[in-house]
């Protein structure tokens, strides 16, 4: 989100600086790795649709600027019991004049033989879904920002963000910077920067696995959509085989373990693998081969499972953003636009009422 905001500010001609405590593309937060899912309708919140329409447009604009493909439209199949959260929530979002198709279990398995699901399950297929190349997208935002004049400082940890008259003072482990405004998109470190806000954020550890498919021809991006499952195992999601890494598959919210961003377990255990592999073996058995590689990342969760995007009360020159909760990456361009709007115009045309801090009062 920070890189998208920096890109937006630079493209508007503002002198701006981005500060990152690690290196660009580091694996300690929520933005690294090969792929992230993208879709228009979300079971989590049907009202996301207008933001996602704009986000798609901005992703394509970024592709045009950098002359790279970042989005891969494979379609997405969201699968589960007809009265489950995934199906009911996605159906509510798709009712907002979106292209979608409801498939019973037999129809889904005829179209995509890799799936082996109970006859009682249904699927909602969104043809506009797919995945974003995450690391390439992050690098593209940074490249455009720097090309348009932004500065990027890495390996520099922000200690505090303080009001300084009508502006701000950003204190780092290298010194201090003064500016007119600050946008703070610090993910799992947001609470430590603003303890006085008492933000109700919980950081949780996630594990992702890549599996060797036993029938690779069924799992190419041309033959299989991105997908989500709701089942007795919880909520799981996956991607077709991409970049010779196998099938990416993970449990949404994984084991639900709360951690600290600076000291969490990054080694993947047998318990972690079991939480991922059990539904893979049952519902995509041909993908249930050896686990090639694993990765950990972090979710930063709010109690209502949606974003924080707002100005700090009493200090409109400081904007905080935590658009995470495990489904935020796809929103990066539109969130960057909103954040740039807030510091240049004081408001935004996008509806961010659900993301305001006041809801936690």
Label residue 361 by pLDDT band (50, 70, 90).
confident
Is there a single domain that holds both residue 276 and residue 233? Answer: yes
| 169/249 same-domain check | no
pLDDT in tens, 91-101: 888 876 789 99
Residue 115 shares a structural domain with residue 142: no
Q: State the total domains in the chain.
A: 2
One domain, residues 145 and 281 = no
Query: Considering 283, 301, 319, which residue would you say is the last residue of a domain?
Result: 301
143 & 220 share domain: no
Instruction: Say yes or no: 318 and 347 in one domain.
Output: yes
Q: Is the residue at 176 inside a domain?
A: yes
- The per-residue pLDDT for range 174-226, each reduced to its tens digit, is 999 999 999 999 999 999 999 999 999 999 999 999 999 988 889 999 999 99
Domain that holds residue 246: 76-127+202-301
Residue numbers annotated as active site: 32, 35-36, 248, 253, 297, 330
Same domain, 296 and 311: no
Residues 209 and 332 in one domain: no
Shared domain for 143 and 292, answered yes or no, is no
In CATH, what number is assigned to the domain containing residue 293?
3.30.9.10
Given pLDDT bands bounded at 50, 70 and 90, which one contains residue 283? very high
- Give, in order, the Cα–Cα distances in Å from 263 to each of 68, 83, 127, 185: 36, 39, 40, 20
**Predicted TM-score of the model (pTM):** 0.96
Backbone angles phi, psi at 310, to 5 degrees: -170, 165
Nearest to 226 by CA among 26, 33, 31, 40: 40
Residue with token string 């720097």: 146
What sign does the dihedral 150-153-154-158 (CA atoms) show?
A: negative
At which of 282, 301, 320 does a domain end?
301
In terms of pLDDT, which residue wins out, 113 or 96?
A: 113
Quick check: is 70 in a domain? no
301, 321, 352 - which closes a domain: 301
pLDDT at residue number 263: 94
Residue 197 lies in a domain: no
Per-residue pLDDT at 24: 95
53-86 pLDDT, tens digit each:
999 999 999 999 999 999 999 999 999 999 999 9
The CATH number of the domain where 169 resides is what? Answer: 3.50.50.60
- pLDDT recorded at residue 328: 93
Asked if residue 60 is part of any domain, the answer here is no
If asked whether residues 120 and 225 sit together in one domain, one would say yes
| Each residue's pLDDT tens digit, 338-348 | 999 999 999 99
Residue 144 in any domain: the answer is: yes
> For residue 126, what are its two tokens?
């969104």
> What confidence tens digit (pLDDT) does each residue in 236-265 have?
999 999 888 899 999 999 999 999 999 999
| Residues 283 and 352 occupy one common structural domain | no
* Averaged pLDDT score across all residues of the chain: 95
Domain identity same for 94 and 208: yes
pLDDT of residue 266: 95
Say what the pLDDT of residue 96 is.
66
Q: How confident is the model at residue 292 (pLDDT cuts 50, 70, 90)?
A: very high
The per-residue pLDDT for 103 is 97
């Amino acid at each position: 989100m920070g890189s998208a905001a920096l890109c937006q500010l630079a493209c508007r001609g503002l002198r701006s600086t981005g500060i990152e405590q690690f290196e660009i593309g580091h694996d300690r937060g929520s933005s690294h790795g090969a792929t992230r899912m993208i879709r228009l309708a979300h079971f989590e919140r049907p009202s996301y649709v207008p933001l996602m329409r704009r986000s798609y447009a901005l992703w394509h604009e970024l592709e045009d600027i950098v002359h790279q493909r970042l989005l891969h439209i494979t379609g997405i199949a969201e699968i589960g019991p007809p009265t489950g959260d995934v199906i009911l929530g996605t159906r509510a979002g798709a009712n907002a004049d979106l292209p979608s198709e409801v498939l019973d279990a037999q129809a889904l398995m005829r179209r995509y033989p890799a799936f082996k699901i109970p006859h009682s399950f249904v699927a909602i297929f969104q043809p506009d879904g797919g995945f974003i190349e995450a690391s390439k997208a992050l690098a593209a935002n940074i490249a455009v920002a720097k090309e348009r004049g932004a500065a990027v400082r890495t390996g520099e940890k922000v200690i505090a963000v303080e009001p300084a008259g009508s502006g701000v003072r950003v204190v780092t482990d290298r010194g201090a910077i003064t500016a007119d405004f600050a946008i703070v998109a610090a993910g799992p470190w947001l609470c430590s920067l603003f303890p006085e806000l008492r933000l109700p954020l919980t950081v949780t550890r996630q594990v992702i696995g890549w599996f060797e498919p036993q029938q690779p021809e069924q799992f190419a991006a041309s033959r299989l959509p991105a997908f989500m499952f709701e089942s007795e195992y919880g909520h799981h999601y996956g991607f077709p085989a991409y970049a010779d890494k196998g099938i990416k598959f993970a449990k949404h919210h994984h084991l639900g373990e709360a951690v600290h961003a600076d000291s969490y377990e990054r080694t993947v255990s047998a318990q972690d693998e079991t939480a991922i592999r059990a539904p893979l073996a049952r519902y995509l058995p041909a993908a249930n081969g050896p686990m090639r590689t694993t990765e950990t990342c972090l979710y930063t969760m709010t109690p209502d499972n949606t974003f924080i995007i707002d100005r700090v009360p009493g200090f409109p020159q400081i904007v905080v953003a935590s658009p995470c909760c495990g489904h935020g990456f796809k929103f990066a361009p539109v969130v960057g636009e909103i954040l740039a709007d807030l510091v240049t115009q004081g408001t935004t045309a996008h509806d961010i009422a659900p993301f305001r801090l006041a809801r936690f009062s």
